[in-house]
Structure 1
Amino acid sequence: MAWFRNLTKVSSIKSSLKNTHPFPLLASSLTHFSTEANKHNQAPPGLGPTRPNEKPRVVVLGTGWAGCRLMKGLDTNIYDVVCVSPRNHMVFTPLLASTCVGTLEFRSVAEPIGRIQPAISREPGSYFFLSNCTAIDTDNHLVHCQTVTDGVDSLDPWKFKISYDKLVIALGAQPLTFGIHGVEEHAIFLREVYHAQEIRRKLLLNLMLSDMPGISQEEKSRLLHCVVVGGGPTGVEFSGELSDFIMKDVRQRYAHVKDKIHVTLIEANEILSSFDDRLRQYATKQLTKSGVHLVRGIVKDVKAQKLILNDGTEVPYGLLVWSTGVGPSPLVNSLELPKAPGGRIGVDEWLRAPSVQDVFSIGDCSGFLESTGKPTLPALAQVAERQGKYMANLLNKIGKAGGGRANSANGVELGEPFVYRHLGSMATIGRYKALVDLRQSKESKGIALAGFTSWFIWRSAYLTRVISWRNRFYVAINWLTTFVFGRDISRI
């Protein structure tokens, strides 16, 4: 009978499965993984020199504006992409100051690398490694790396090497302290999301401590004194955001200390020195009207609760934010490559390190060699983004011409060299006001706007420049929520 024959077939299948692994596909995968691990010992697969049947490998050091724009534009049908960085996201730095006071949430300014270049998460030959680059061996096309670890109970750092066909150094820069004693120990920089988180926690902690019974008036004034050193766009924007926070939120929710909290902005020269003179005067007037005390001076020493200016003036502080520009990192200084003025990695007109093969450098860590006759470009996001876009197109062109492999691009026509055209500068100064300077240089003529219209342009421009639609939605919702309900002052 048919039902009896079917029952016999099912019984035979069950008996045969008893002698096999319950998950045959998983068993096969584990066996393959074990075999590969033994074959390569402890080295992860895909880190050795690329084989003829594999795609050439581009190694990108850094996840800033330059490195992320490069990875976004790379053709992953031509190259495998390996990114090495101590952070797995890109920071939208123009809006970072807004996160310090709760205008925006932190996730609104952080874009995961896997969303910028999905191949890193999907393709078998592309990787992201949460690591620091410790050295570069240009002779053997090797990058030496060490994993990032957190806390005393974490695993010991693991050192490994990556072979590259093309290497792009986009390591950015580090804040300049000018060798001033105490800056590293007591000041907070504003370059990363964790800096903004630290500023926010410190600010809210000081607000709550100042309201405690038994606090002297002198200590209360110190706790509520926020000092910003550096009158560039970052320092001015943070001062404007902080003054807005004080006027609109602190005075409503911390009524007992509302008249004690104040902001001081210290700058050695003029604030916003790259902007039009009329815009600088407008910014000075508006910041003063918002309660920001502008001081011209040079910081000589920084102590735990006060800083000392060059004229001997002592300035007590509860929160100290340091924003005086950037310079080369220790790794960039240690690389045996020609240097541009200022200690940056020297590059030619095509952003190549000319003394070695297959090495390029973009972003804040690079600068034109003096032999090119070109000036060093400013450390701006738009410079880095433009260089990243150019480098992606250049590498795609080299790969299509058959020069993607190591030491194989000598005869490839590179095309037009990199040319930077400044699109203008913008900065918000609080109270729904901003500055928009569309001149190509400080000496040239062009459009310069200030006021509410500029603030609307500033917000619209940056909303469109946020990389993903997800983060654009976050930013728009955060702005709307802050406008309707005020800033979130929870200390989390």
Structure 2
Amino acid sequence: MAWFRNLIQVSAIRALIKPRNTHPPLSLYTSLTHFSTDPTTHQTPPTNPIQYSGLPPTKSNEKPRVVVLGSGWAGCRLMKGIDTEIYDVVCVSPRNHMVFTPLLASTCVGTLEFRSVAEPIGRIQPAISRAPGSYFFLAHSTGLDTDNHVVDCRTVTDEANTLDPWNFKISYDKLIIALGAQALTFGIRGVTENAIFLREVSHAQEIRRKLLLNLMLSDVPGISEEEKRRLLHCVVVGGGPTGVEFSGELSDFIIRDVHQRYAHVKDYIHVTLIEANEILSSFDDRLRRYATKQLTKSGVHLVRGIVKDVQPQKIILNDGTEVPYGLLVWSTGVGPSPFVKSLELPKSPEGRIGVDEWLRVPSAQDVFSIGDCSGFLESTGRPTLPALAQVAEREGKYLANLLNKIGKAGGGRANTAKDMELGDPFVYKHLGSMATIGRYKALVDLRQSKEGKGLSMAGFVSWFIWRSAYLTRVISWRNRFYVAINWATTFVFGRDISRI
């Protein structure tokens, strides 16, 4: 064994005298210099290569570049429809998938698996994964220079052991701002720290984990009756479609699964839905009354009130009522994000990015805005459209066709479409609203407006229409298959209650 000890000693000495490498890993340097605008960075690695990197302006022998900020309904529908024979597509977003939000509430209680509602960007637009000039960057947008056609970005590195975030720039020929919106808290103290917003897959995962944790903790010996009731009290704030659908899914989960598998605590768990006005205010009056009746029958306690304060274990209403909770889900509508507010662009009356009838930002050449972050300027005389998935999807489809038309006419490059005829402006026609309320029941309201006339129905047939409609709207056949299998598995075997 003497030779083995000598080998260890020699290795230790070499490790001590070996100079420390102060440069970043070569793979990181290579990945950054691939996009660098400085030709000298392709020779000798500098001491700090993360000074400037990005995509330079397109050359005459390259395709025009369309940069899409966001991966929601609007941005993804545009990327799906854009002609990649005309344009290179670059997507910048803090997530690499689109969320099929109408089915997100079903994932919280195990009716659907999380991946069934997440569609990878590379499947929506394959050119991003294959074409040499198209990319996806996992990053936030941090700034915009419309004069020089440049977007400032910052990478997303949210794991404990990942690299520090760095900044880079992207030059664009056409820019589409589709950053969506953020949940409204109305400045109420404690909402951000204690409530969960149901807008992302990560939110649904957090809700599911906390719900199942509370169920298991409440069954532990020694837990007081008061604490058990608090842990198993699920409070939903907001009586819009998202809040009602989550309440319906949760009550269905309690009736069909919790009562069977958590028999010791089945009498303690309950759901409270808090709304300042009427639930489902955009639906027909008859449908609202039906939803109220069915939710109450399912055990959902409906409370009309305004939340004044949110504390770690209870919320306080404006009349002084204290409501203890174990799980708090916040769904009270959306508003513009801080980044959208910070942009020096014209704004609509609601604070969104102002656009004209062709979804252009008038004060910035080659900049368009679609989805929840945009709204018609007051000068257009048009009302701001609601923050709905179908609005964003239709805007994305329209703008993709418009950009394809511009590109075919030779206006794809920066500053080349100033005086181009754009054709018909964007017109939105409402197709109706749907919402499930649990227990194989749903609402279908096909009126074009709240005051308009049209078909409205409720019950089992509506639930079947709801499922059929959303199954056909899931983007890929892969996810349609996943959703159909999940529904069938849940129907036969019940929901999965594993806390993973």
TM band (smaller chain) = over 0.9
1:65 aligns to 2:73 (yes or no):
yes
Report the alpha carbon displacement of residue 333 of structure 1 after superposing the two structures with TM. Answer: 0.2
Is contact 1:232–1:272 with CA below 8 Å preserved after alignment?
yes
SS class of match (1:129): strand
1:123 aligns with 2:131: yes
Give the C-alpha shift of residue 35 in structure 1.
9.4
Return the letter of the residue paired with 1:472: R
- Quote the Cα distance in structure 1 between the aligned partners of 2:279 and 2:143: 38
Correspondences of 1:326-365 after superposition (within 5 Å): 326-365=334-373
The corresponding residue for 1:478 is 486
Confirm or deny that 1:39 pairs with 2:43: no
Q: Structure 1 residues 93, 32: CA separation in 2 closer, same or farther (over 3 Å shift)? A: closer
1:387-406 matches, cutoff 5 A: 387-406=395-414
- CA shift, 1:36, in A, is 8.7
Q: Residues 286-301 of structure 1 correspond to what in structure 2 (within 5 A)? A: 286-301=294-309
**Aligned counterpart in structure 2 of residue 149 of structure 1, from 157, 161, 172:** 157
Separation of aligned partners in 2, 1:341 and 1:226: 35
1:202 aligns with 2:210: yes
Superposed, 1:200-349 pairs within 5 Å as 200-349=208-357
Matching residue of 1:16? none
Q: 1:411, CA displacement in angstroms?
A: 2.4
| Distance in 1 separating the partners of 2:403 and 2:263 | 58
- Per the alignment, residue 26 of structure 2 pairs with none
Tell me the distance in 2 between the aligned counterparts of 1:33 and 1:97: 39
Q: Which amino acid aligns with 2:39?
A: K
2: CA distance, partners of 1:478 / 1:133: 36
Change (3 A) 1:459 1:115: same
**8 A Cα contact 1:46 1:125, kept in partner:** no
Q: Deviations over 1:253-281 (max 9, x none)?
A: 00000011000000000000000000000
**1:266-323 residue CA offsets vs partner (Å, 9 max, x unmatched):** 0000000000000000000000000000000000000000000000000000000000
- Once residues 292 and 40 of structure 1 are traced to their aligned partners in structure 2, the CA distance between those partners, rounded to angstroms, is 65
In structure 2, the CA distance between the partners of 1:217 and 1:420, relative to structure 1 (3 Å rule), is same
Match of 2:441 among 414, 433, 440: 433
Between the aligned partners of 2:91 and 2:101, the Cα distance in structure 1 is 20
Deviation at 1:40, TM superposition (A): 5.9
- 1:383 pairs with 391, 412, 416, which one? 391
Q: 1:316-373: per-residue Cα shift (whole Å, max 9, x none)?
A: 0000000000000000000000000110000000000001100000000000000000
- From 423, 444, 451, the equivalent of 2:431 is 423
Match of 2:60 in 1: 52
Query: Secondary structure at the residue paired with 1:315?
Result: strand
Q: Which runs of 5+ in 2 are unaligned?
A: 1-29, 42-48
Question: Secondary structure at 1:207's aligned position in 2?
Answer: helix
Structure 1 unmatched ranges of 5 or more: 1-30
> Does residue 168 of structure 1 match 2:160?
no
User: 1:17 maps to which residue?
Assistant: none
Tell me the SS of whatever aligns to 1:256. Answer: coil
Q: Is 1:93–2:140 an aligned residue pair?
A: no
Identity %: 84
Distance 1:383 1:61 in 2: 17
How does the TM-score come out when normalised to structure 1?
Answer: 0.92
* Alignment check: 8 A CA contact 2:356 2:380 kept: yes
Alignment check: 8 A CA contact 2:86 2:407 kept: yes
For residues 367-404 of structure 1, the C-alpha deviation after alignment (integer angstroms, 9 at most, x for no partner) is 00000000000000000000000000000000000000
Tell me which moved more, 227-236 or 37-46. 37-46
8 Å CA contact retained: 2:53, 2:169? no
Residues of 2 paired with 1:36 and 1:454: CA distance?
A: 52
For 1:34 and 1:455, how far apart are their aligned partners in 2? Answer: 53
Quote the residue 1:15 is aligned against: none
Distance 1:189 1:310 in 2: 21
* d(CA) in 2 for partners of 1:33, 1:93: 34
For residue 255 of structure 1, give the secondary structure of its aligned residue in structure 2. coil
Task: Tell me, in whole angstroms, the C-alpha distance in 1 between the residues paired with 2:263 and 2:31.
Answer: 66
Amino acid at match of 2:105: A
Q: Is the 8 A contact 2:196 2:207 kept in 1?
A: yes
Tell me if structure 1 keeps the 8 A contact 2:218–2:231.
yes
Whether the 8 Å contact between 1:61 and 1:84 is mirrored in structure 2 is yes
SS in 1 for 2:264: helix
Q: TM-score, normalised by structure 2?
A: 0.91
Residue 57 of structure 2 aligns to a residue in which SS? Answer: coil
Name the counterpart of 2:7. Answer: none
Equivalent-residue separation in structure 1 for 2:243 and 2:405 (angstroms): 40
* RMSD of equivalent CA atoms: 1.7
Q: How far apart are 1:237 and its partner, in Å? A: 0.1
Whole-angstrom CA distance in 2 between matches of 1:322 and 1:45 = 39
For the 8 Å contact 1:347–1:354, the answer to whether it is kept is yes
Does the Cα contact within 8 Å between 1:173 and 1:329 map onto a contact in 2?
Answer: yes
User: Aligned partners of 2:346, 2:139: CA distance in 1, in Å?
Assistant: 25
Q: Kindly state the Cα deviation for residue 153 of structure 1 after the two structures are TM-superposed.
A: 2.5
Match of 1:446 among 451, 454, 461: 454
Aligned to 2:11: none
Q: Output the CA distance in 2 between the equivalents of 1:287 and 1:46.
A: 52
Residue aligned with 1:197, SS:
helix
C-alpha distance in structure 1 between counterparts of 2:224 and 2:98, whole Å: 43
Structure 1 Cα separation of the partners of residues 318 and 124 of structure 2: 46
Do 1:346 and 1:369's aligned partners in 2 also have CA atoms closer than 8 Å? yes
SS at match of 2:105: helix
Partner of 1:104: 112
Inter-partner Cα distance in structure 2 for 1:468 and 1:40? 44
Alpha-carbon distance in structure 1 between the residues aligned to 2:34 and 2:93: 29
**Distance between the aligned counterparts of 2:54 and 2:193, measured in 1?**
41
Contact 2:35–2:56 under 8 Å retained in 1 = no
User: Could you tell me which amino acid in structure 1 is paired with residue 125 of structure 2?
Assistant: Q
How many residues align structurally?
Answer: 463
Structure 1 pair 36/79, CA: closer, same or farther in 2 (3 Å)? closer
